[in-house]
Amino acid sequence: MISYVRAENIKLTFRPKNRDPVTALDGFTFEAWRGEFLSLVGPSGCGKSTFLNVLLGLIKPDSGMLELDGQKITGPGLERAMVFQEFGLLPWRTVLANVELGLELKGIPASARRERSSELINLVGLTKFENHYPHELSGGMKQRVGLARALATDPDVLLMDEPFAALDAQTRDIMQMELLQIWDRTKKTVLFVTHSIEEAAYLSDRVIVMTARPGKTKSVIKIDLPRPRDYEMRLTSKFNGIKLKIWNALKEELVYRENLRES
Amino acid sequence: MVKLNEVYQSYQRFVLGTASVIGFILLWQLLLTYIIPFNSFFITKPSLIAVAAKDLVSSGKLWHDLAVSSKAFVWGFTAAVLIGIPFGLVMGWRRRVEYALDPFLTALYASPLVALAPLLIVVFGVGLTGKAVLVFLLAVFPFIFNVFAGVKSTELLLINVVRSFGGKEKDLYFKVILPSTLPYIVAGARIAIGRGIVGIIVGEFYAASEGIGYSIALYGDTYRLPEMFVGIMLLMILAVLLTSGMRKLELTLAPWKVGQEGR
């Protein structure tokens, strides 16, 4: 298979004022196939969210190569869109206007913008709330808006930075199921960052486990579960076996981090 | 009876506020009528103020003064809005501009600019321009500093959202920074109104031939205290109306802030 999103030897060091520099990523290499659901799991601070921001084009790496479909990534672009952990909705805009944001910046005329946004709002089940403001919505609804907004510009790659971490457990389960349905319908390539082994195992085709900071790929685990997936699958021993595999890869990194803290 | 009590509960603020104002006026009137020996050179009482107000209104003098003073206020205040807001925006967003301008602005904001009144009158002459410039100088700094603070408090996440969709510098200003700063602008306007009124009055005290400030000074010099109090009270009423208007504006412009507070 030919890789679709490719990162090679990414190095990125943050140099905050008056503090020691922190190397977030060092020699990070990664590839994703077209249409794949790929998750990144790793200890906190391993640079997985940072990597998404690099892919999004908001942060420039010090060195390394980034490619999407054979094209070098140099900055933000409409073939990539992010769903943010803290939603990132503009509070002064209605649901509809928030979903329109990307289209507006792309220069799409108002009527086409509206039509396309309504379509996506319908896709995430918020039609009745088109004219509501974000502060009138629950967390789950806000993230639906975030998802609709990211899909509105019809990107090829959807970047999701712990999108459900701020939600309660039940909302989270529902959002995961809906995300899978939407993914199935839209055939996007999804790069999904999460802390949750369960979430990664349930959603993904492959899971990349990252090392502690500076982050690089520790192991790649293929999730051999049939699709469409359902909640019951999460209760099988096969699923638990997969979780154990991810955990085993991750645990050394967590232990390593704990030791660091004590020394 | 229960009903009446409920009505009272919901209007408690209004009822008590009004009652205390009326009580104050009555007390003032009664004290000067029955207890304190009345000397019209030093003090006056509400009944005389009311008579003076009626005369000034029916002769048209009050409206004329109001029109003269308002004109200078509106010019100076408009200039403060048009110059203060862009300045604050750029200062808040561009660090180098901030560092370069900060010493001047801080010094000017902190100093009693009414001290410049004589100079301004010398340069711009007695009349509209001098007063308008004084109003501008006093009113512009609350705008600059509030907008500055507003820009600084703009969520970086929202900036990143707009950037990730390919937003340019202009989009950041108009789609994120300015709307998120709006509540700060209104708060700045509240302070600026008070300072602007001071500017008008001082300008007219110092050198003028008409206007509310001029009339207050003139009536003071000629011991016509009831007329003087009419001017003072007109200013009070204006200041209260304008400031509470701003508060209403704040609620309309930033409903999401209200939502957050209500939570």
Would you say residue B120 has pLDDT above 90?
Answer: no
Q: Please tell me the distance from the alpha carbon of residue A126 to that of residue A132, in angstroms, as a whole number.
A: 10
B251 touching A, CB under 8 A?
A: no
> Mean per-residue pLDDT for B87-103?
92
* φ/ψ bin of A226: left (φ > 0), alpha (ψ from -120 to 50), beta (otherwise): beta
- What are φ and ψ of residue A191, in 5° steps? -110, 115
Q: Domains in chain B, ordered, with CATH?
A: 46-253 (1.10.3720.10)
**Structure token digits, residue B95:** 């660090």
Domain layout of chain A by residue ranges: 5-79+155-262, 88-154
Asked whether A233 and A239 are in contact (CB, 8 A), the reply is: yes
CB-based contact B164 A56, cutoff 8 Å:
yes
User: B257 vs chain A: nearest CA distance in angstroms?
Assistant: 9
pLDDT at res. B189: 92
Name the residue of chain B whose CA is nearest to A105's CA: B167
pLDDT at res. A259: 60
User: A233 vs chain B: nearest CA distance in angstroms?
Assistant: 35
CB-based contact B162 A84, cutoff 8 Å:
no
pLDDT at res. B259: 45
Name the residue of chain A whose CA is nearest to B181's CA: A92
Q: Please tell me the distance from the alpha carbon of residue B77 to that of residue B138, in angstroms, as a whole number.
A: 9
User: A90 vs chain B: nearest CA distance in angstroms?
Assistant: 7
Residue among B63, B54, B81, B227 nearest B140 (CA): B81
Confidence of residue B212 (pLDDT cuts 50, 70, 90): very high
CATH number corresponding to A5-79+155-262: 3.40.50.300
Confidence of residue B126 (pLDDT cuts 50, 70, 90): confident
This prediction's pTM: 0.83
Q: Which residues of A touch B175 (CB under 8 A)?
A: 90, 101, 104-105
Name the residue of chain A whose CA is nearest to B259's CA: A135
Q: Which of B161, B179, B256 sits opposite A134 (nearest CB)?
A: B256
E strand segments, A15-128: 22-32, 37-41, 63-68, 71-72, 80-83
Would you say residue B262 has pLDDT above 60?
Answer: no
Q: Which of A53, A77, A92 sits opposite B166 (nearest CB)?
A: A77
Q: Which of B164, B179, B255 sits opposite A82 (nearest CB)?
A: B164
Confidence of residue B261 (pLDDT cuts 50, 70, 90): very low
Predicted complex ipTM = 0.90
Q: Please tell me the distance from the alpha carbon of residue B235 to that of residue B166, in angstroms, as a whole number.
A: 50
pLDDT at res. B110: 85
> Mean per-residue pLDDT for B152-174?
94
Q: Which of A53, A76, A133 sits opposite B166 (nearest CB)?
A: A76
User: A177 vs chain B: nearest CA distance in angstroms?
Assistant: 25
Identify the segments of chain A with pLDDT beneath 50. Answer: 263
Confidence of residue B124 (pLDDT cuts 50, 70, 90): confident
Confidence of residue B1 (pLDDT cuts 50, 70, 90): low
pLDDT at res. A263: 46
B258-261's contacts with Cβ under 8 Å and 24+ in sequence apart are B259/A133, B259/A135, B259/A136, B260/A135
**Pairing of the two strands A206-210 and A37-41:** parallel
Residue among A203, A188, A171, A194 nearest A41 (CA): A194
> Mean per-residue pLDDT for B93-121?
88
